[in-house]
Amino acid sequence: MARSLKEMFGKQILACLTEIDANGRIIRRQEFHGTLVGDQGKPFLQPSNHSRPFALPNDPDYYFPADPERQYQLVDENELVSGIDYTLTFIKAPPEYFKPEPHRQVS
């Protein structure tokens, strides 16, 4: 496993993003694949479909080695991709999701 993100720049990434609402309900799931690139040391995914790059987590612990020989089926596009070096799954939630409920005591 790479010890730093800089060592992973140029590698192929499969990123899975799940967006949830303040109640934890899934709004949508998205999958992206492309090349991990860096801009001033920060990681971005340059999607293989040439759309705009987008920011990824800066912590290398989010990235898991993958088998480049394996084929992955993308759900939305019904596309098979291979050559993936690392996978990454993360959740995007609004700030309200992380606030305790008013009737619940926090110890």
| pTM given for the model | 0.80
Q: Residue 105's pLDDT is what?
A: 56
The count of structural domains within the chain is 1
103 in a structural domain:
no
20-37 confidence digits (pLDDT tens)? 999 899 999 989 899 999
> Using an 8 Å Cβ cutoff, are 32 and 50 in contact?
no
20 in a structural domain:
yes
107 in a structural domain:
no
- Give residue 40's domain range: 5-98
Q: Could you tell me how far CA 7 lies from the centroid of its own chain?
A: 17
Q: Residue 68's pLDDT is what?
A: 94
71 in a structural domain:
yes
Amino acid symbol at 61: D
38 in a structural domain:
yes
104 in a structural domain:
no
